[in-house]
Chains A and B, each alone.
Chain A
């Protein structure tokens, strides 16, 4: 029977740093870190332990595939003789350690846009191809988590190379892909008792986490709703800041800017937000989304209708960050329920 558990390993909680050090020989390890009273993902330094006693990070780790600011090309010299310099392609492989299943799901959602048969974003692809995912099951889903609505869940393994579960005194790590298995191979084997514990935790989390029923009907419902007065109602309290979009693991709008000093400069890709008044502002001064309701409509439509039409998947994984951090408590769950009833 032991044979069937060959992909299940475990690690004592006080040994986690030893394991990280092993990983760091071949990989850059990106893991949750405590910043003030919250958690953000960041690169672990030497002897730095990941902070694994968290619900979810304040900001999603999407910046590790889709950086908020990314230099596309640097150039020097006068305009006709300018020589572009693209950065070299070799980068150390990375492991994102302790990423939650909703954020993994979001990565899979973003993959469809940035790497598809019509178009490949080389910058995204390079970062994505060089990153392994060690995801981390959620023992305590928050009241604002609704990942179960999107073919995801607190213990969804989709997209992971290895899957970590906190079973109290130790973590179990299950290999999912060949690469994941190879990396955890040297850890001690787990046993049936550990898996049983995981099953109980998973069952509890699956019961706790909320689910928006019939979410798959939303894209169709939105199809005829462009001119609906509901957008003005929903957006009236919106302040027009970028909290929802910048914390969101699936928002992916960006803006290209040139930064120059004299003749030299660089072209950068920056995150953009549909909530900002200058989003899609034309050079002519025309603004097709002049009012807050038009921008709110854009956000909801893009996630729950346009993206689904283009890629057959809704661009939300139910992480709840936009819900908890909005300064005026605009709640996307409430908006979706409202749309369903219209």
Chain B
């Protein structure tokens, strides 16, 4: 990991010194064990805080829409990006949030991020106070225990089924060898759920979202959720009730949000990780990703030349799913 840190800092320092970017968004060590967090670097002397680890779970593309004013002023922003981050950045470029040349992508191949909650569960009732990472394992220490865990057993759910771990596009790259995993597909996750009876699926969905507290962490952690005014906040007209005692409103919030992400979600899993009530939100959104793939052979953010699936029409488009008789 230190090698990667060094390389990232080198690249960041160079970009800032040469004036190629004014801001670099990357990761720094967090204040909690098992936590890295987004950080913002503007001066070459600040690059020392940049790090890389298997705890860099946030999709940093989420910050790009916050800088629309700077982007309108033709400023350039550097982003340290995993596979999923690059896919979201491509989405932003396709949706005209930024021009390709305004985003300087510092690609870092990713081997999947670790799920902090899974690791904490594994060592319960121990309380983790520090962690050290090696190539394939992570060692956690706490009050009277020390445990070394295999990273591959504690990956985030959405990282397990990720098939785009290498940055799709980049301007600079941290050159490390990783293998794209074989035989994994978002479909695996969706198929398992879809094989259940409709009643069972509805029950599982309604139980999950009944815990929703409408903190909107799923929305705000999502790089594709950047509307100036979200439909839940709109009061003229008011699309949705505002309470938590209406189950329908909780369900509608998740359903409508999901539809807004059709062909736009990159399955980074940020929504599920951000949810303080552990609702598996990404499962729902993944369904539309698989539909896009199944019906239109489309995957979000893997082809920078292409157009988003809902922005183009072809006579050859599949009608399947539109006029399905049941």
List residues of chain A with CB within 8 A of the CB of B278: 36-38
**Any A CB within 8 A of the CB of B315:** no
Contacting A241 at CB < 8 Å: which of B32, B217, B241, B243? B217
Q: With A and B bound together, what is the CA distance between A328 and B26 in angstroms? A: 12
Q: Which of A299-342 contact B (CB under 8 A)?
A: 323-325, 327-329, 331, 333-334
List residues of chain B with CB within 8 A of the CB of A142: 127
Cross-chain contact B39 with A323 (CB below 8 angstroms): no
Q: How many pairs, one residue from A and one from B, have CB atoms within 8 Å of each other in the complex?
A: 105
Contacting A327 at CB < 8 Å: which of B40, B127, B221, B233? B221
Q: With A and B bound together, what is the CA distance between A55 and B125 in angstroms? A: 9
Q: With A and B bound together, what is the CA distance between A143 and B278 in angstroms? A: 21
Cross-chain contact B221 with A242 (CB below 8 angstroms): no
- Interface stretch of the complex, out of B83-91, B101-109, B269-277: B269-277
Cross-chain contact B215 with A273 (CB below 8 angstroms): yes
**Any A CB within 8 A of the CB of B216:** yes
Cross-chain contact B274 with A327 (CB below 8 angstroms): yes
Q: Sort chain A's interface into a size bin.
A: 35 or more
With A36-B278, A237-B40 already in contact, the answer to whether A243 and B217 are too (CB < 8 A) is yes
Q: With A and B bound together, what is the CA distance between A292 and B67 in angstroms? A: 12
Q: Which of A230-258 contact B (CB under 8 A)?
A: 236-237, 239-243, 245-247, 255, 257
Cross-chain contact B40 with A236 (CB below 8 angstroms): yes
List residues of chain B with CB within 8 A of the CB of A246: 213-215, 276
Chain B residue total in the interface (Cβ 8 A): 41
Contact with B along A24-47 (1 / 0, CB 8 A): 000000000001111000000000
Q: Kindly report which residue of chain B lies nearest to residue A68, judged by CB atoms.
A: B244
Cross-chain contact B217 with A144 (CB below 8 angstroms): no
Cross-chain contact A333 with B31 (CB below 8 angstroms): yes
List residues of chain A with CB within 8 A of the CB of B37: 237, 328-329
Q: Kindly report which residue of chain B lies nearest to residue A324, judged by CB atoms.
A: B32
**Any A CB within 8 A of the CB of B38:** yes
With A38-B278, A247-B276 already in contact, the answer to whether A255 and B242 are too (CB < 8 A) is yes
Contact with B along A264-277 (1 / 0, CB 8 A): 00001010010011
Q: With A and B bound together, what is the CA distance between A240 and B39 in angstroms? A: 16
List residues of chain A with CB within 8 A of the CB of B244: 68-69, 270
Q: With A and B bound together, what is the CA distance between A164 and B241 in angstroms? A: 41
Cross-chain contact A239 with B30 (CB below 8 angstroms): no
Q: Kindly report which residue of chain A lies nearest to residue B270, judged by CB atoms.
A: A327
Q: With A and B bound together, what is the CA distance between A59 and B278 in angstroms? A: 12
Cross-chain contact B32 with A144 (CB below 8 angstroms): yes
Cross-chain contact B215 with A242 (CB below 8 angstroms): yes
Determine how close the nearest CB of chain B comes to the CB of A34; give it in whole angstroms.
Answer: 12
Determine how close the nearest CB of chain A comes to the CB of B283; give it in whole angstroms.
Answer: 14
Cross-chain contact A276 with B242 (CB below 8 angstroms): no
Cross-chain contact A59 with B276 (CB below 8 angstroms): yes
List residues of chain B with CB within 8 A of the CB of A115: none
Given A142-B127, A243-B217, A334-B31, list of 16 further CB < 8 A pairs?
A38-B278, A68-B214, A236-B40, A237-B40, A239-B62, A242-B214, A268-B243, A270-B242, A277-B233, A278-B233, A323-B32, A327-B273, A328-B58, A329-B30, A329-B31, A331-B30
Q: Which 7 A-B pairs have the closest CB atoms?
A: A242-B215, A329-B37, A241-B220, A327-B274, A241-B217, A69-B243, A239-B220
Q: B-side interface residues toward A, CB under 8 Å?
A: 30-33, 35-40, 58, 62-63, 66, 117, 121, 125, 127, 129, 143, 211, 213-217, 219-221, 233, 241-245, 270, 273-274, 276-278
**7 A-B contacts, Cβ less than 8 Å apart?**
A239-B274, A247-B276, A257-B242, A327-B58, A327-B220, A328-B38, A331-B30
Q: A-side interface residues toward B, CB under 8 Å?
A: 35-38, 53, 55, 58-59, 68-69, 140, 142-144, 236-237, 239-243, 245-247, 255, 257, 259, 268, 270, 273, 276-278, 292, 323-325, 327-329, 331, 333-334
